[in-house]
Every structure is written in structure tokens, then in C-alpha cells.
Structure 1
Amino acid sequence: MQKKYNRLVEIIKDMESVVVAFSGGVDSTLLLKVAQDTLGDRVIAVTITSPFHAKWEETEARELAVKIGAKHIMLPKTLENGALKYNPVNRCYLCKKDVFSDIQDYAARNGYQWVADGTNQDDAADYRPGMQALRELNIRSPLLEAGMTKQEIRELSEKMGLTTWDKPPYACLLTRIPYGQEIKEEDLQRVDQAESYLMSLGFRQVRVRLHGNMGRIEVAKEEFAEILKIHKLEQINQVFKELGFQYAALDLEGYRTGKMNDGIVR
């Protein structure tokens, strides 16, 4: 891992100046920390704010950038991209192409040589059409270039004192909506509020998938005993109804990354 870390530092040093696409997740936080330590004021973090990003995540990104000591801006986006309206299978490609084009424009206007993201070695194993957009735009992925796995990123983050070292994986709110279903801002807000509520109860690994008027809850299997307590079920059901869900259901398989990709022909 030390060799990979040294390789990461050399990659970033050779970039000379960089805009880090910063979500505040495990990967982008480590990338920003190493970039800041290596390049100082030749680094800036850019966080996208949009209806398809959770509000708590945007707040955390601001706080983390301050702790790291990096320059940081929020770049707003809307749902104006008509190609995303019905949540196509290649939504990640379309979204990343749009978002990273804007980040590249910002980098060019402000004299930064590169845009970098937190893609790591393990990301190649899942269905991730967004990676094609990154290649087409020549976005750098230093963690991937250094050969770092998710586990190595977590271990290194812990050694560096980053509070995100054990942060559960997260993804944009579009992944809560089935492919082919119309994206509505009020649905994204409802899902965001439902997930934030479950997190406030202490559940760490949470997804609320929207299926018509039903919210399908995914939590880690080790948290089943807690969520299945009668008073918790009644409490959750009541809050979900207040948020506009007619039904609340628990996925008996538990949380699994990329579950909405099941059945896709790749």
C-alpha cells in the first residue's frame, strides 16, 4: 500500500494543478487530502449541487473541505438535461458527460490543468457507464491509476486520520428510481427525506428505492434486528406515510450495491 501511495503522490505531482470532483465520499476525500498535501493552493475541490444529490451530503462536503484546508466551490446543476427525464439505462454516462464538461469548463477558465475524480480499482467490476464519459473527456482518476482498491483507500484514510475512512458508500438519488421511470424533483426530495430520517435513527447503510407509491427500504443485514423492532416499524411506517409514500417495504435481501442494475444486458 505504501508503494501505491507513493505512486499516487507522483501522479498528482505530475498533474501540477487540478480540480478535484469532490462528493465527500471515501474516495474523493482521500484524493483531495493527498492532492492538497502535494500541490497546496494549486488544488480546488468542486462539489456539484443538484436535485439528484442529497442535501446532507452537500453539507458534509463543505465541512470536509474546510477540515482538509482545501479551496472549495459548489457548482449548481438542474434537471434541464432532457435526455435524463425518463432515467435511461445510460443515465450515468449522460449525467457524468454533462457534469464533468461543466467542471472542465471551470478548470479551463481558472487555469487548472486537469480535472480528477475518485474512481478506484474496484469500480471496474460494476456496471458503470459513467466511466466511458470520463474517458471521452480525458478526466484523470489518480486512485485508479495508482491501482488502489476500496479497502486500501479505507485503510489509508484511517491512517491519515480522515473521518470518512469507514463511511458507507453512497450514490446519487437517480439510482433510487427504476430505469425508464420519469424523474420528478418531488420524488427525489421524498427519497432524500426518507433516507435522512432512517439515518437519524442510526442506520448507516441505507437506500430507499421508489416503486410507484411504495418506498422499498434497504439496510445492511446486520441492522435487520434493529429495524424489525415493532416500535421502529410503526414509527418508520408513519413517517413514510407523512412523506407521501402509500406503502413502506423492507427488502429482505438487504443492501447490495448496484441492485437497480439487476437484469441489465451489458
Structure 2
Amino acid sequence: MNNRALALFSGGLDSILAIKVSQRAGADVTALHFINPFVSEVKTEYIKEKAKELGVPLILEPLGDDYLEIILKPKYGYGKAMNPCIDCRAFMLKKAKELLPKYNASFLISGEVLGQRPKSQMRHSMQQTAREAGVEDILVRPLTAKNLPPTLPERLGIIDREKLLDFSGRNRKPQMALARELGIQNYPSPAGGCLLTQVEYGKKLKDLINHGQYDLREIKRLNIGRQFRLSHGAKLIVGRNHEENEALKASAKDSDILMRVQNFKGPLAVLTGNDISYVALKTAARITARYADCPKEQKVTVTFYRINNPKNKEAIEVIPMASEEVSTYRIE
């Protein structure tokens, strides 16, 4: 066993401190960041910047379809929303363990703190995730290590247990004090990140699952725009601003239909699905017109085209849908 470790790195304060404390205790650390489709607030560029500030190599590892399967059918269930925290943590630890030989590393580091989170960081659940991932004796939690049994790297003296910490509970003042001591600034709020903990997001995700549209592209669009279920095989997403309009256009696939109201300011809308009927098309046009700066009680022209054939534009005349009717289609 050598002193090289992979540290699960979210970019949050705990993961930053875990790297610093581990280095101080003798570990040669490489940061490992899983690119998670359900985490919106931590951007890849920020992660790169923080790793550079810490002076550690960085591995960016995308999560794929096997990760989506545990979200769909978690062994240990969900939290208050669609957040399978224990299954998610175990999955990432298992993936990290699989990467150890590739990077000639011997153990893992995590920024977990005993008692900090009510579901995933209780003693029982921390033991459970480590056991499920098969990392019980090679997972070092440097911020809370003295509250836990010594791991193999500690027992062998590869990492100095005396330089590890005993943080516990939900009070984050010790972490903030340590950050000041180490000169660490500009770290994100601990509340940020996982969309699966949001009830409204969970409803949108359940809609995807129930209608057979469960893939990474659709998941990445769940947090963009107003979303409407038109039929089992058709869904509409309407941008709320220029940034969302651009994001929708960039995310469109060949079979998607893009819509705008002609001659009026308004949103870009994307009609997607595997069974788009004329009725769904007309309904989508009426909803799109509802959010445009146009008269609401007379016909307007909505142009539409498929992303793979933008020159072949078609048009349909519709009366914008009334707000009361729009609400019957909205996913919320």
C-alpha cells in the first residue's frame, strides 16, 4: 500500500478541507470529481479552478446509464424527495474504488462528517455505504476520522491519524474556522447542489420515468424552462429567458421540433417525444403563443422546424391558450 489517494471532490468546503487535512497527514492526493446530471450548481470550470488552487491533479469522471439505474431502483430507498442518498454514495465510492489501480492509488478520501446530514452521514448509514461499496478499510474520512475506527492506511502509518480531525454534528463553525486558518476562501454554500432533493424536480423526473423518456439528454433538460406533458409520447419545454432559449436549442436532438411565434417577441419552445401527433403539435403551438408578447384572443402564426432541417420551416395558426388551460398540462 502506498500513500496515493483518490479524494471524492465535490468542490464544497468539506471536500476541500478533506484534501488539505489528508495532505497534512501525509497523503499524496488526486481529486476525483464525478460529473453528475443531477447536480446543477457546481460547474466543471469551478472544479478545475479549485483543484488548481489546491495544487492537486484532477480526474473528471462522467456518471452514465448505470448510475441512472440506481436512481430508478434504489436498494435503500429515497429521502424526502427522489434522493437515494445511501445508494448514490455507495455507487460513487464503488466507482472510485474501481479507479484506484488506474491511478496507482491505494485508498480513498471523503469529506463526510459524522452526523452532519440526517440520512447519509449517520454512523449506521456511513458504515452501510462503505460496506456496500466494499471500501470499509480503505476509506479515510479525515474530518471526522477520530470518531471512527482506524482504517488500514491509518493503522499502517501511511497517513498520520494524529493529524486527522474529530468534527461531528451539523455545526459548521469548526470547518469555517479551519478554512480561515488555511486561507481558504470563496467556497460554496453547503446547501447547494443535488436536484434530487427538490420535490418539484422529483415530479418532473417521475414524469420522464412514467413516459419512457429516461435518458441523460432528457434529464439534463429537466431544469430548463416550463415543462408540459401533452400526451404519453409528447412533451413541451418552453424557455423562460434568452439563456434558457439558447440552452434548449443546444440540447435539441434530431427528432425535436423547435417553435417560435412569428412577428412577436417570445420564447423558443421544444416539442419532444416518440409519438408527436398533429393534436400535440397544435397544443404545443397554443402554449408557446401563450408565453409570447402577442394578442391573446386572436390567431397568431407559430413557425416550427426540426433541428436537423432548419430551412424546412412550417407554420400553424392558433389562438394562444388561456392560462387556466395551460395549467392542466404543466408538470408540477
TM-score range (shorter-chain normalised) is 0.5 to 0.7
> Secondary structure of the equivalent of 1:123?
coil
TM-score by length of 2: 0.48
Measure, in 1, the Cα distance between the counterparts of 2:96 and 2:188.
Answer: 28
What percentage of residue pairs aligned between the two structures are identical? 19
Structure 1 residues 174, 242: closer, same or farther in 2, change over 3 A?
farther
User: How much does 1:238 deviate?
Assistant: 4.5
User: How much does 1:89 deviate?
Assistant: 1.1
Corresponding residue for residue 39 of structure 1: 26
1:120 aligns with 2:145: no
User: How much does 1:75 deviate?
Assistant: 1.1
Supply the RMSD in Å over aligned alpha carbons.
3.6
| Contact 1:25 1:169 (C-alpha < 8 Å) held by counterparts | no
| Contact 2:113 2:143 (C-alpha < 8 Å) held by counterparts | yes
Alignment partner of 2:130 out of 134, 138, 154: 134
User: How much does 1:66 deviate?
Assistant: 0.2
1:99 aligns with 2:92: yes
Corresponding residue for residue 202 of structure 1: none
Structure 1 residues 109, 158: closer, same or farther in 2, change over 3 A?
same
| One-letter amino acid matched to 1:181 | K
Measure, in 2, the Cα distance between the counterparts of 1:58 and 1:148.
Answer: 28
Corresponding residue for residue 202 of structure 2: 178
> Secondary structure of the equivalent of 2:111?
coil
Corresponding residue for residue 84 of structure 1: 71
Structure 1 residues 144, 67: closer, same or farther in 2, change over 3 A?
same
Structure 1 residues 187, 166: closer, same or farther in 2, change over 3 A?
closer
Measure, in 1, the Cα distance between the counterparts of 2:206 and 2:268.
Answer: 20
Corresponding residue for residue 66 of structure 1: 52
The alignment covers a number of residue pairs equal to: 192
Corresponding residue for residue 230 of structure 1: none
| Contact 2:21 2:142 (C-alpha < 8 Å) held by counterparts | no
Counting only pairs closer than 5 Å after superposition, residues 1-266 of structure 1 correspond to structure 2 as 16-39=3-26, 42-54=28-40, 56-80=42-66, 81-85=68-72, 88-89=77-78, 91-123=84-116, 126-128=118-120, 131=126, 132-137=128-133, 138=136, 139-145=139-145, 146-149=165-168, 150-164=172-186, 167-176=189-198, 177-178=201-202, 181=206, 184=214, 185=216, 186-191=218-223, 238-239=240-241
TM-score by length of 1: 0.59
Structure 1 residues 142, 34: closer, same or farther in 2, change over 3 A?
closer
User: How much does 1:79 deviate?
Assistant: 3.5
Unaligned runs of 5+ in 2: 146-164, 209-213, 229-238, 245-265, 270-286, 288-332
| Contact 2:34 2:62 (C-alpha < 8 Å) held by counterparts | yes
User: How much does 1:166 deviate?
Assistant: 6.3
Measure, in 2, the Cα distance between the counterparts of 1:61 and 1:68.
Answer: 11
User: How much does 1:161 deviate?
Assistant: 1.3
| One-letter amino acid matched to 1:47 | H
